[in-house]
Chains A and B, each alone.
Chain A
Amino acid sequence: MAEARPRTLFDKIWDHHVVETLPDGTALLYIDRHLVHEVTSPQAFEGLRVAGRPVRRPDATIAVVDHNIATDATRRTGITDPESRLQVETLEKNVVEFGVPYIPLLDARQGIVHVIGPEQGLSLPGMTIVCGDSHTSTHGALGALAFGIGTSEVEHVLATQTLLQKPAKNMRVTVDGTLPVGCTAKDIVLAIIGKIGTAGGTGHVIEFAGEAIRALDMAGRMTVCNMSIEAGARAGMVAPDETTFEYVKGKPYAPKGEAFERAVAWWRSLPTDPGAHFDKEVTLRAEDIVPMVSWGTSPEDVLPITSTVPNPSSFADEARQAQVQRMLDYMGLQAGQKLTDLKVDVVFIGSCTNSRIEDMRMAASIVRGRKVADGVRAMVVPGSGLVKQQAEAEGLDRVFQDAGFEWREAGCSMCLGMNPDKLTPGQRCASTSNRNFEGRQGPGGRTHLLSPAMAAAAALAGHLADVREWQPQ
């Protein structure tokens, strides 16, 4: 018998889920878990209704509201914005009509779809997971194949529990060594995107590997996988290991008892075989990573916090020079300014990149016993109601509030300008979210991406700051 071809983690999950291969090589891929939120689903349910089609597997589907909702006390009295309210009410009607399980706004489990999936054990190793949202890549941290889809595909999955897909290419990003003090998973992923660019992963699924990735807890792995989409990749993943199994064990929707043992036995067979082929390989040394911050309006425009704003003339071609000048104008920056001299108006700790309990702890450890600088609006938005409860049980809410932070309810909040939490034109924000596009946090808003620890330091200093100078007291 011929020796089986060595396969990657991605190959194995892919192969396992191919229902049928069509003559031209397109695969009909089975989808194990479908997460649904209010923004990208209304037109999909409408399509089903028009065609008279049911949801094929409501038990594999779950819906939650996160993008549109307020994260202050007003959420209890009803959504004021009529369009936001309509989207939420439309989802609430659709889940009843189609029998889809739903986590309502005032349920303690409500939160950002990419936080609650892993938290509830809805996202498991070896699964195919989709959601009408590009940051579905987050769930790849569990050793799953998880990717974002458009609304037509949401409708396709609701109706058929499958997707028509062409296989992606394999890419491996290896981070060797040990991360220096003050650096986090966020700095790893910003450094990776800075190195490979926003199209560096296009057409590929990235497997993150190496000692520094293995050493990350699940929250850190989720932060890294979350931003694979910012590197252009279709998905990001980390091979499941003991850290993964430990995390999954006991989660509400995870298998229990004997089923859990059976599942783990299968999950152990998933990591990439030695000698498997990668179409693209990139290696970084963790020791070289420094706390990172973005200066431009694309996530690849990142630099160590110790740097100065780049000079457009230092870039090679004219098109890029013009682009950099445009970014500096938008960001209100001058070439040569020290990044640590940039005053911030707002600090946002939250989003599906960095709103888990580990992120809260990291930020709180820097904030404890200190005060937010005058004139800075600082907010912490937990990723789910359960993260919020846990943080409160640990007293982290007091740490933040005593320092002058707002302590808010779970949701996407200021990650995108779609709910009441927005920047006003010209405001500069240190943000733990994932996108620094023009207008992303509100028209004219200026976003600097960084880690929760760096965001905490910026809030205390009143300007972008090197967290290594703000270590816990």
Chain B
Amino acid sequence: MKPFTNLTGIAAPLPKANVDTDQIIPARFLKTIQRSGLGRHLFANFRFREDGSENPDFVLNQEPYRNAEILVAFENFGCGSSREHAPWALLDFGIRCVIAPDFADIFHNNSFKNGILPVKLPREVCEKLMEDARMGGNARLTVDLERKVVVRPNGEEIPFEVDAFRRHCLLNGLDDIGQTLEHKDSIDSYEARQRSSQPWLYA
């Protein structure tokens, strides 16, 4: 996993609540057996018309947002299915940070595991950042995970909270499985206990 420390980039405004994972990547694109290459299907139903041509009205088809690395949206971002294809598609497109008032749980989890930082900030703050994002290439946002602040184009610093363990993993690009396997002895002894108290759980 690519570490996430400090990111300065173009933020795309997506002033919508309940952006669900079916919008982020429609089900018909889930038939892949790989993680990469999904960026071209990100928000496919908004980005492309029925004949396959680009919809110029959608923000990610406009300059400079084709190069956005940050997405600003409203409440309940990432609700719906558990598909990790949603963060994979965001990442493959180049988005490394989503800022919203809150996130659906599974999406929130999935983001961290793929090196995407979800930043939770109150609605009023997201509205301000939405205005910043609308200024396009002249107004880059900085998301500094080391200092836990978002820096607006006018220099204002907005602090945010993030789980300490997840921050640590993200800053260092650590893979969860490797870390968990360091606790192998505890898992072994849990299983030994359970095998004697609830043998029916073991074939």
Within 1-54 of B, Cβ neighbours of A (below 8 Å) are at 16-18, 20, 22-23, 26-28, 30-35, 45, 50
User: Interface size bucket, B side?
Assistant: 35 or more
Q: List the B side residues contacting A384 at CB < 8 Å.
A: none
Give the residue name and chain of the A residue nearest to B179 (CB). A164
Interchain CA distance A295-B22 in the complex, whole Å: 18
Number of A residues near B (Cβ < 8 Å) is 69
Interchain CA distance A110-B125 in the complex, whole Å: 49
Give the residue name and chain of the A residue nearest to B101 (CB). A199
* Nearest CB on A from B17, distance (A): 7
Stretch at the interface among A38-46, A273-281, A358-366, A403-411: A38-46
* Nearest CB on A from B52, distance (A): 12
- Asked if A198 and B180 make an inter-chain contact with CB atoms under 8 angstroms apart, the answer reads no
Q: List the B side residues contacting A259 at CB < 8 Å.
A: 199-200
Stretch at the interface among B58-66, B90-98, B104-112, B139-147: B104-112
- Asked if A43 and B33 make an inter-chain contact with CB atoms under 8 angstroms apart, the answer reads yes
- Asked if B190 and A19 make an inter-chain contact with CB atoms under 8 angstroms apart, the answer reads yes
* Nearest CB on B from A155, distance (A): 7
- Asked if B22 and A438 make an inter-chain contact with CB atoms under 8 angstroms apart, the answer reads yes
At the interface, yes or no: A292 with Cβ under 8 Å from chain B?
Answer: no
Stretch at the interface among A22-30, A182-190, A238-246, A305-313: A22-30
Contacts A19-B190, A87-B33 aside, 6 further interface pairs with beta carbons under 8 A come to: A86-B33, A164-B176, A232-B104, A323-B16, A435-B81, A437-B22
- Asked if A319 and B17 make an inter-chain contact with CB atoms under 8 angstroms apart, the answer reads yes
Q: List the B side residues contacting A86 at CB < 8 Å.
A: 31, 33
Q: List the B side residues contacting A133 at CB < 8 Å.
A: 81-82
Interchain CA distance A19-B181 in the complex, whole Å: 12
**Residues of B bordering A, CB below 8 Å:** 16-18, 20, 22-23, 26-28, 30-35, 45, 50, 74-76, 79-84, 87, 102, 104-106, 109-110, 113-114, 163-165, 176-177, 180-181, 183, 186-187, 190-191, 194, 198-203
- Asked if B113 and A150 make an inter-chain contact with CB atoms under 8 angstroms apart, the answer reads yes
- Asked if B186 and A19 make an inter-chain contact with CB atoms under 8 angstroms apart, the answer reads yes
Choose from A26, A84, A90, A266 the contact partner of B198 (Cβ within 8 Å): A266
- Asked if B187 and A152 make an inter-chain contact with CB atoms under 8 angstroms apart, the answer reads no
Interchain CA distance A149-B110 in the complex, whole Å: 8
Interchain CA distance A39-B34 in the complex, whole Å: 11
At the interface, yes or no: A440 with Cβ under 8 Å from chain B?
Answer: yes
* Residue interface mask A417-445, B partner, CB < 8 A = 1: 11000000100000000010111100110
Interchain CA distance A325-B74 in the complex, whole Å: 18
* Nearest CB on A from B122, distance (A): 15
Q: List the A side residues contacting B194 at CB < 8 Å.
A: 30
- Asked if A28 and B183 make an inter-chain contact with CB atoms under 8 angstroms apart, the answer reads yes
Interface centre among B34, B35, B50 (most CB of A within 10 A): B35
At the interface, yes or no: A68 with Cβ under 8 Å from chain B?
Answer: yes
Give the residue name and chain of the A residue nearest to B18 (CB). A298
Choose from A68, A156, A203, A435 the contact partner of B22 (Cβ within 8 Å): A435
* Nearest CB on A from B41, distance (A): 12
Also in contact, A156 and B106, with CB within 8 A (given A32-B201, A90-B33, A437-B20) = no
At the interface, yes or no: A72 with Cβ under 8 Å from chain B?
Answer: no
Also in contact, A149 and B106, with CB within 8 A (given A263-B198, A298-B18) = yes
Q: List the A side residues contacting B82 at CB < 8 Å.
A: 40, 132-134, 148-150
